[in-house]
Every structure is written in structure tokens, then in C-alpha cells.
Structure 1
Amino acid sequence: MSTTDLELAPENGLTRPKSANLTVALIVIAMAQLMIVLDATIVNIALPHIKTDLTFSSSGLQWVVTAYSLSFGSLLLLGGRLGDLMGRRRMFAIGVAIFAVASLFGGLALNPAWLITGRVLQGAGAALASPAALALINTTFPAGKERNRAMAVYAAMSGIGAAVGLILGGVLTEWLDWRWTFFINVPIGLVVAVLAPRVLVESESSDGRLDVWGAIVGTAGLFSIVYGLSHAAQQGASWGDALTVLPLVAGVALLIAFVLVEQRVAHPLLPVRVVADRNRGVSLFTMMLVGAGMFSMFFFLSLFTQQVLGYSPVKSGFAFLPFSVGIVVSAGIASQLVSRIDPRWISGVGGVIATIGLWGFTNLSMSSGYASHLLPYIVILAVGLGMLFIPLTLTSTAGIGTEDSGAAASALNTAQQIGGAVGIAALTTVFTHYATQKGNELGAAAKAQAAAAAQSGHTPNKDQIAAATHQIQLQAQTFGSTHGFWFAAGMVLVGALATLVFLNVKHTELATDGQGAAHLG
């Protein structure tokens, strides 16, 4: 990019692209973020095909999903700090390039170990690129209208990524081959990596040092937490399992040690001041709860549409298309409102609307129709989440110094990742409890009916027994799912109330860069 394409940003001494290039810069950041987020779900629909082609065991197959989550979630803090120290544009480009190469590597896999290694590398690339992407918005886009628009697109990509992943996963797997759920990232990632140095502004490298002990302890703590939660969400697992309890206990102990380490080093991986700020803490807490509700909704609703309502993978994926449209429109409106209305009111109302959307799914039944029972609440949920994501993304980075932008961005991404793991694990427990309870209740009633029929000489045949058993399973799954949605709605409502009560950032404070300014609140 030539000097004629740049303008000086006097508040921090950096140069920013002129408006003609801001659109290209936004596309580059948005494509990278969308690619990273959708990869958490794009392979889910392909899992049965992967299991057959690579001869995965049933217990080993879940590592295709878990390996990415573990690598991504545990390395985010390190990735954000490396961006602060070595340049965020550089880390963004390197992370996206690693992600693209890892996707090619995974798509060519010939055995389970090969594919899981590719997923770990994908997560590592994402952990470098994702916090840098958010931090680069502050560097590249001037505060006010331009930055709000960029945040709206970034938040929309974060919100629709899971839905787009389900759609693409279904289409690519059903129409081409499961390997294309990996190959599709390669051209996109390489184009983004090539364009990034040309349209994005590099941050000033920090003269600090990498907090090695903080990186080791923090990464190990996050790894343990995500592993424990992921294990709790597995079929047949429970919160009392040793592989759930021990990693969670170790993770909490390591994160406590991490806080102590960060208070004693000169250049901490995650400065305590970043999360100690009340407004930022509320934003991160709410985003964690929203992530828990959203990711668990996609998980359970995609299973419900396919297993109970009988949707094909492609039909199930496209069922979420209105969600993608709704959240883009809602995020655009919220980006306009945030310059005139304090973020607590936008995000608070958005949280209440999202709660209503999740509550709607508690009324699902085996005979639910798409237009009557699914579509309205998918749209309501999308509108609410769009209103939540924009102000909270802004307030989570508001008032942060330039040297801490990467750390703040990684904290936000970590909150969302941990929230997703917490949500799926917690709602799996709720689902299992209520599904088992309903299954036992219906099973006992069916046995009583069968015994009465046998006494009257009407013994059911094998096909009738199989059909009755299948109906009991579907009814139990529906009962468990609707109770899970109650808990998801409750988590989002708690986040909405926390925002309304404790968030105290004025909309006028979001219209300035705040680089080097005092922390808000």
C-alpha cells in the first residue's frame, strides 16, 4: 500500500488507510473471522462420513471437534499477547496462513491422528489471528461511525459463523465430500494472508517481553478447563467423572496461580487492569453467558431438527439461514444506535429479546412446523443477539491502551470460547437428566401397556416394539431439549440483567479512541 493511500492518525502516531481502502480492510478482517468461527461447526455434520472414511472409533471421533476447541481456547491469551509484542497485522497474517495450511493438511488426512493434528494446528492459527483481528479494528478504523460499522460486521461474523458452518458443512458433505469442509478454507485463507499487509495498519511493536511463566500457566489452565467441560459434554459422561472433575479442579488452580503470576511480572500476558475494570468485566461476563446460550442452542437445535423432525443435513443447515440474515441486519441497526444510545440499554434490551427467542424453543414438540414454531424464534433470537454483540464488543475494548488491545481482544474471545464450552456441557447435563427421566417414565408406561395387552392376548410384534421404542426415544429427546432451552434462556437473561444493572459506559465515550486514556468506569 503506497503512502498516498494512508492518512495519519494523530492520536497514536499510526497511519490508517483512507476510506477507499477501509472497505477492503473490513472485508479482509471479516472473512478471516467468519472462517475461524464457522470452523467450530462446519465439520459437525461431516462427522459420520469422517468416521467411516478414516475408521475412527466412536470415542475418538469427538476429538475432531474437541482438538480444535482445546487448541483455540487455550492459546488465545498467548496469541493476543504475541500480537501486542510483535505486531498485530503480522500475527494476523501468520495466524491466517497457518490456518489455511492446516486446513489443507487436515483435508488430506489418511488416518485419525493425521486429522486431529490438523485440527490442533487450525486452532493454533485461529488463536493467533482472532484476537489480532479485533485489535486491528481499533488500529485501522477511526473511532465513531467507521469503527462502529466495522465492529458491527465483526460481531455479525462472530454471530453467524456457527450457522454458516452448519449450512456449508451440510452442502459440502452431501454434494461434494467431507474433505471440502477443510479445503474451502485454503483459498480464502491465502487471499486474506496476502491482502492483510496491503490494507491493514500495523500496530507499533511493544518493547515488553513475553511473560513465559504466565503463558505456560495460563495456557495450561485454559486447556484444563476446556478439556474438563468438553469431557462433561460427551455422551455417557457426567460431572462426577474423574476426567471431568480433575481437569476442572486443576484448571481453576492453575488460573488462580496465573492471576498471582500476572500480579508479579513486569510484562504480564494478561494485565490485571484489563479485566479488573468493572465495565470490561461486565462485558466479558455477559459475552460468556451469551456464548453459552448461543452455542448450546445451535448444538441442540441442529440435533433436534435432524433426529426428531427428520431434516436432512442440508435442510437443517438452511433452516438457520434466517438467523444469519437477522443478525446481520440487527447488528447494522445496533451500530447506528450505539452512537446515540448508551450501550447498556441496547445490549440489555437485546438480551431480553434473545431470551424470548430461546424461550420459544421450550415449546417445541415432535410435530412442530418450521414456519410456525422454529422460524419466528430463530429471527427473534438473531435480532436480540445482534443488539447484544455490537455494544458489548465495543465496551469490552473501550478505554483500553494501545499496548493492551491484543490482551483485551483475546480476553473477549476467551470468554466466548469458555462460555460455549460451559453452555454445551451444562445443557448436556440438563438434557441427559430430563431425557432419562422422561424415557424411564414412558418406558415404564409402555411395559405396563405391553403386559396388559399380553394378558388380553394381543402381544406386539418386533416391529411394533421397535416403533414404540423409537417414539419413546424421540419424546425423551424432545423433553430433554426443551428443558435445556429453559436453562439457555436463563443464562442469557442473567447476562442481560447484569448489563442493565452494572454496565456504565456512555455512548459519547465510544466515539473517541481512548488510546492511552484512563479506563472507563
Structure 2
Amino acid sequence: MRTRYRRSSSGSGQSGGAAGAPLSRARMVVVCLALLLEGMSASGINVQIAAMRDEVGIGSAELALVASAFLIAYAGLLPIAGSLADTLDRRRVFLLGIALFGVGCLVCAFAPEAWVLVAGRLVQGAGAALSAPAALALITEGLPSGAARNRAVALYGAMGAVGFSLGLVVPGVVVTLFGWRASFLVSIPVVLAVLAATWRIRAGRTRSTERPDVLGAVLLTAGLMIGVHLVGAIGRMSALVAGIELAVFGVVVIALIARRGVRGFPSGVVRSPGVRSACLALAGVFAGVVASMYVLSLGLVESGATALVVALLILPQPLAFSMLAGTGARLVTRIGARPTVAIGAAVLVASLAWLGFVGLAVPPWVGVLPAMLGVGCSLALAFPAVSVAAVDAAPEEARATTAGLLTTAQNIGGAVGIALVTTAGLVPGVGEPVGIEPAMFVSALFVVVAMVAAAGVGAARHRSRQTQTEAGATR
């Protein structure tokens, strides 16, 4: 069923210009700080996790959940976040998301136990999921298509990339000097500044006749949380606890099936082989990247590196990604999306395999730094190519939904990657003689398996088209 919209020019009742008027450049920058916070939270966990483990005393399964809770909440709530911003007032949804993110930071900063850290990371992820699409709607509202809108969207994307890089450096410095709790508090001044600067923005409103499926999103998030914990805790839980979790997981899955997933996703998008193939590829890439970064950061700490050193060693990865993303987009234009994805995946597998061969026994400029550069280059190739392939396969009216589905697949892939290396016993622990080498090879395997699966879906799509063409020719 096609969703209908009606435009409302009534603002929020605040002063500050005509409803729906374009934001000033300065206010656009402030709104896009939401993406900076999101990027910092996604990458900063790599330099926070070891210190949190050592102080709070977190087991391996719970540690994996702390690391992946942000991704899970983001993935679970993103399917309805855009429709919430369109159904309700965009400004209010944005403010709610930023406020929730700040609350999550405070919860993490003062968390006494692992489960409180997980809760804080979930709240952070929920806030990021709400604020990100609302921010894009706010900065593009009132702008005609063309250079002005393109600049706004470019600012939106660039702020996320900058945040991902700063999320390694800033928390690394703070953790080293002041401890991991302070590294969550550094986001609070930014949160307060964004709230103050956007409180009086007036925004137009697009009301949908369909209500966002909040219950479906909550069920999806709960299912992902329980599933990731079950995978990461295999062999570490009692049979009773495992049985209870498995039963609850089954109930959630059955409820989602009965509800036909999260309502609001156009069925054509979900069933599209091209979109499914792109989602599989992106999930595999991020399963390999996130799992390898998680193991590498813990391995570096166990080898004697401080949080700041860990951050600086990983930093070439987001920098290369940010600097070469345009090159990836141009390569897609020249040779097509699928060959570009294949090249990016090959570079990623080679980079992880190299780190698996040399480990941490060699100097960083021989092992870690070249591998991080390779991972960044691979993402710069694969990410835009997968995005283009998915958007090209989706109906024009559902391209925004497709972009949200890709982000969901990306975050689920990262969370599952962490869970799988945890359950395989490949994560370095305190005083445990576990090297990073096996995890690097397993992370590379995630990428290979996902690419084979994505190619299989693509081949099935091609065969289906051929069959339809031949059947039409014989009529």
C-alpha cells in the first residue's frame, strides 16, 4: 500500500523564522554535530573497551554485548526512525534523539556494572537512530534540488566521517589521561550545545497516514540483543539460563514473523534480490571489519599499548576511508558497482590476512599500519559501490528506505561479527595467551562467505530474468 502524505506548514510554536525555511549554514553545522557524536560513539568503543573490562570486570560474552549494543539499537530502531521524523515534528524527534544520546553517555559514565553499560549503549544507539534521519530532513528542508542541497548532504556525510576519526583520537587521549568514564562525558558539552542551538528551530511537517511500527522495532531490537548474547555466550551460560533466553528469542522471532517484520518497509524493497544481495555484502564486510577492530584493540592493550597508542594505530583506517570515498564512487561510474565491490572485498581480505600472518610480533609500521590502510581503502571502494547497487535495484519511491535497510544490515553484521569471534574464543582476555592472528583469518572468512552468498543471490536474480525473457520470447 502506498503511504500518503500531507504537508503541514505549522511549526512547533517557536520563534525563529518561517516554518520550513532553510537553515542557516551555522545551524546546519550544529545539527550535523549529531552525526559527529554518532561517529565518535561507533568508533570510540575500540579504545574504551579494554579499560571498561579491566575496571568493571566484564566477562567475554557481556563485553561483546557492551561493544555491540550501540549497533544493535541503531539497527533495530532505524527502520522506524525516518517515519517517526516524518509523522511527528522533525525538530522534536531530533531533540529527543540528541537528549537520549546524552542520557546514554551519562549512564555509561557512571555505570557500576556490565548490564548498566549495556543499557547506556542501547540508549546511545536509540538516540543516534532517531537523530540521524531527522537531522538530514532538517538540513535539507526548504532547499531546492541542486548545489545547495548537495552541499548540505555532503556536510551531513562528512561530519559522520570526521566523527568516526575523532572517536578514535579524542577518547584515546581522555582514556589515557583521565580514564574511560571521562571519555563518555566529553560528549555532554556537545549534546548541550546542539540542544541549545536547535531548540527554537521551526520545521515543517510531513504527516504520514501510517503510524510507525514502534512495537515491531522494539521486537527487532530485543531479538537482535538476545541473539547476539546467545551466540557470544555459547558454552559460558548454564543450561537453564540458555534455555530461557532461547525460549524468549523464539517468542520474539515468532511475533516478528506473525507481524511480517517491522511494518512500513515496502515489500518490494525487502524482496528485491538486488537489495538483498547488497545487504548481504555490506553485512559481511562490516562483520569482518568490526570483529577485527574489536580483537585488534584488545590485543594491542594486552601487548602493552595505551588507549592513545591503540587509537593512533587504528586511525589510518577511517582516514583512508574518508579520503578515498570519492575515488570509490568514481570507480563505480567507470567499471560498475559489482566489480568495485569485488575489488574492495579482495583488498579487505588481503589486509586482514596480512595481519593474520604477521600478528603483533612485528613493528606496527610493518603489520598494523599497512593493514589499517588496506581496510580503509577497501571500505572506500566497497561502501559506495554497495550503496549504488542497492539504490539502483530499488524503486525510486523507496530509495530512502533502502538506504536505511543498508545501514541496518551494516550494524547487524558488525554485531554478529563480534559475537562470532567471542564464541569462538578468539578474543584476547586479561593474561590469556590468545593472539590476534586466528581472529583476523576468521574475520576475512566472514567477508568471503558473505560475498559468495551475495553473488549467489545475484546469480539467482540473473537466472530469473533470463527465464522470464526466454518465456516471453516463446509466447
TM bucket, shorter chain:
0.7 to 0.9
SS at the partner of 1:275?
A: helix
Aligned residue number for residue 72 of structure 1: 74
For the pair 1:253 / 2:248, whether they are aligned, the reply is no
Aligned to 2:310: 316
Q: Give the structure 1 partner of residue 211 of structure 2.
A: 210
Query: What amino acid does structure 1 have at the position aligned with 2:182?
Result: W
Matches within 5 A, 1:282-297: 282-297=277-292
Percent identity, aligned pairs only, is 25
Residue 303 in structure 1 maps to residue 298 in structure 2 = yes
Offset of residue 319 of structure 1: 0.4
Deviation string, structure 1 residues 321-343 (Cα, Å, up to 9, x no partner): 11121111111333455566644
Which secondary structure does the structure 1 equivalent of 2:435 belong to?
helix
Give yes or no for contact 2:324–2:380 (8 Å, CA) kept in 1.
yes
Q: Which residue does 1:442 correspond to in 2?
A: none
Match of 2:225 in 1: 226
- Give the aligned residue type for 1:207: S
Deviates more, 1:109-118 or 1:121-130: 109-118
Aligned twin of 1:34: 36
Structure 1: stretches of 5+ with no match in the other structure: 7-13, 263-267, 437-469, 505-521
Select between 124-133 and 488-497 the one with higher mean Cα deviation: 488-497
Q: Of the candidates 435, 456, 469, which is equivalent to residue 477 of structure 1?
A: 435
CA deviation string 1:337-377 (max 9, x = no partner): 55666444443432332232222222133522211122112
How far apart, in 2, do the equivalents of 1:144 and 1:333 lie? 22
**In 1: Cα distance, 2:301 partner to 2:54 partner:** 19
The 5-angstrom pairing of residues 294-443 of structure 1 reads: 294-307=289-302, 309-336=303-330, 342-394=336-388, 396=390, 407-432=401-426
Rounded to whole Å, the distance in 2 between the matches of 1:15 and 1:279 is 37
Cα 1:138–1:152 shift into 2, 3 Å: same
Summarize the Cα distance change of 1:412–1:486 in structure 2 as closer, same or farther, 3 Å threshold: closer
Contact 1:47 1:61 in 2 (8 A): no
In structure 1, how many angstroms separate the alpha carbons of the residues matched to 2:79 and 2:407? 9
Per the alignment, do residues 377 and 180 of structure 1 end up closer, same or farther by CA in structure 2, a change over 3 Å counting? same
1:142–1:284: structure 2 CA closer, same or farther, 3 Å change rule?
farther
Q: 1:46: how far off?
A: 4.0
Mapping 1:442-521, distance limit 5 Å: 473-474=432-433, 476-491=434-449, 493-494=451-452, 497=455
| Cα distance in 2 for residues equivalent to 1:356 and 1:295 | 16
Aligned CA distance change for structure 1 residues 376 and 93 (closer, same or farther; 3 Å): same
Q: Which has the larger radius of gyration?
A: 1
Contact 2:426 2:438 (8 Å CA) reproduced: yes
Work out whether residues 171 and 314 of structure 1, in 8 Å CA contact, stay in contact via their aligned partners in 2. yes
Size of the aligned set, in residue pairs, is: 443
1:279 corresponds in structure 2 to 274
Mapped partners of 1:490, 1:81: distance in 2 = 34
1:153 touches 1:328 (CA, 8 Å); kept in 2? no
TM-score, reference length from structure 2: 0.75
Q: Unaligned stretches of 5+ in structure 2?
A: 1-15, 463-475
2:183 aligned residue: 181
Gap change, CA 1:276 and 1:210, over 3 Å in 2: same
Letter matched to residue 374 of structure 1: V
Q: Tell me by how many angstroms 1:47 deviates.
A: 5.1
1:122 aligns with 2:116: no
Contact 1:88 1:136 in 2 (8 A): yes
* Partner AA of 2:278 in structure 1: S
* Aligned CA-pair RMSD: 4.3
Residue 242 (str. 1) matches residue 280 (str. 2): no
Matched AA of 1:300: V
Q: Name the CA distance, whole Å, in 2 between partners of 1:239 and 1:110.
A: 24
Q: CA separation in 2, counterparts of 1:224 and 1:335? A: 35
Query: Comparing 119-128 with 249-258, which one deviates more in the overlay?
Result: 249-258
TM-score, normalised to structure 1's length?
Answer: 0.69
| Residues in 2 aligned to 1:425 and 1:380: alpha-carbon distance in whole angstroms | 24
Work out the CA distance in 2 between the residues paired with 1:112 and 1:299: 17
